Amino acid sequence: MNIHTYEKLWLAAAMVLIVGFIATITYGAVGPGVTMVNDDGGSIDPDAISDHERFGDTGVTHVGGDEYEVAVVAQAWSYSPGEIEVPAGSEVTFYVTSRDVTHSFSVVGTNINTMVIPGEVSQMTVEFDEPGEYGILCNEYCGQGHHNMEGKLTVVPEDEFNMTELSVEAPDEVEAGNETTINATVSDGMQTDLGTTVTLEIGDQQYEEDVAIEGAGSESVEFAVDTDELGAGDHDWTVTAAGYEESGTLTVVDGEGGSDGGDGDA
């Protein structure tokens, strides 16, 4: 059988095109950094999201090494949390579910773009190599506030990322002569141990205590403040730990009551 030369050429060109299409699609499906949405996330009772182990407390969790998990709840018309911060050089797995209707979770400029369906958990893992800022959008029409449904994802330089928190409990006012305490709690959101010194400065008094915090744990320090030594009046205090600072004012009131006239202590 004799095939015309032109026909041979067209056959060859068609074969090349077909192979090219298959190669393109294969690359798109399994190429570097590309993740397919799947149903690995499982299902969830949309009415019991607040009690759920993962979604009861949304936000970023350090899993270990450079791996992080982010739990996000979508609802009309916002994401919780609305702002997400992860470090560069991390591998982040997003778990997203909806409290009400179908939304989407799309991180503009990345390949994260998934439907978020009530009762289902969408799961995606992405690597962020470089610092950057990304908008998060809802691409699924979800009611009159749909166009306002947005969030923000910030990839910060690794050395600027911190999951340490400092919280301080202190009274506003105390009577002179009474002992009072200022409590500082340092929590370590990373899976690695943290050692730091907690310092309290109040008036010209200074207290400090070293704490060792186990990964994902927290430690509290109680400073007993001598109000006699401070004397009556307003005293600014500052608590520092792990590069964080909290401050406030403690007012020591004269226990004898009465006016705050200028009669000294002596």
Residue 44 or 74: the one with the smaller Cβ distance to ligand CUA is 74
Stretch that binds ligand CUA, among 5-13, 139-147, 160-168, 253-261 (CB under 6 A): 139-147
Q: Give dist(CA 183, CA 166) in Å, integer.
A: 10
Residue 142 or 239: the one with the smaller Cβ distance to ligand CUA is 142
Minimum Å distance from CB 140 to ligand CUA? Answer: 5
Minimum Å distance from CB 149 to ligand CUA? Answer: 4
Residue 105 or 134: the one with the smaller Cβ distance to ligand CUA is 105
In sequence order, what are the residues at sequence separation of 6 or more whose Cβ sits closer than 8 angstroms to the Cβ of residue 106? Answer: 112, 113, 114, 136, 137, 138, 139
Minimum Å distance from CB 252 to ligand CUA? Answer: 52
Cα-to-chain-centroid distance, residue 221: 25
Binding mask 84-113 for ligand CUA (x = CB under 6 A): -------------------x----------
In sequence order, what are the residues at sequence separation of 6 or more whose Cβ sits closer than 8 angstroms to the Cβ of residue 46? Answer: 97, 98, 99, 100, 118, 119
Structural contact between residues 122 and 105, judged by C-beta atoms closer than 8 angstroms: yes
- Token pair recorded at residue 154: 């910030």
Minimum Å distance from CB 136 to ligand CUA? Answer: 11
Contact status: 140 vs ligand CUA (CB under 6 A): yes
Contact status: 202 vs ligand CUA (CB under 6 A): no
Stretch that binds ligand CUA, among 1-9, 23-31, 134-142, 240-248 (CB under 6 A): 134-142
Contact status: 120 vs ligand CUA (CB under 6 A): no
Contact status: 136 vs ligand CUA (CB under 6 A): no
Footprint on residues 146-185 left by ligand CUA (CB under 6 A): 146, 149
Residue 132 or 143: the one with the smaller Cβ distance to ligand CUA is 143
Q: Give dist(CA 221, CA 184) in Å, integer.
A: 5
Contact status: 138 vs ligand CUA (CB under 6 A): yes
Q: Give dist(CA 33, CA 45) in Å, integer.
A: 31
Residue 150 or 201: the one with the smaller Cβ distance to ligand CUA is 150
Among 72, 142, 155, 174, binds ligand CUA (CB under 6 A): 142
Q: Is the peptide bond before 77 cis (omega within 30 degrees of 0)?
A: yes
Minimum Å distance from CB 115 to ligand CUA? Answer: 10
Task: Locate the DSSP E strands across the chain.
Answer: 59-64, 67-75, 78-80, 83-87, 90-98, 103-107, 113-116, 122-128, 132-137, 150-156, 164-169, 173-175, 179-188, 194-202, 205-213, 218-226, 233-241, 244-253
Structural contact between residues 121 and 42, judged by C-beta atoms closer than 8 angstroms: yes
Q: Give dist(CA 107, CA 249) in Å, integer.
A: 43
Site residues for ligand CUA per CB under 6 A? 77, 103, 138, 140-142, 146, 149
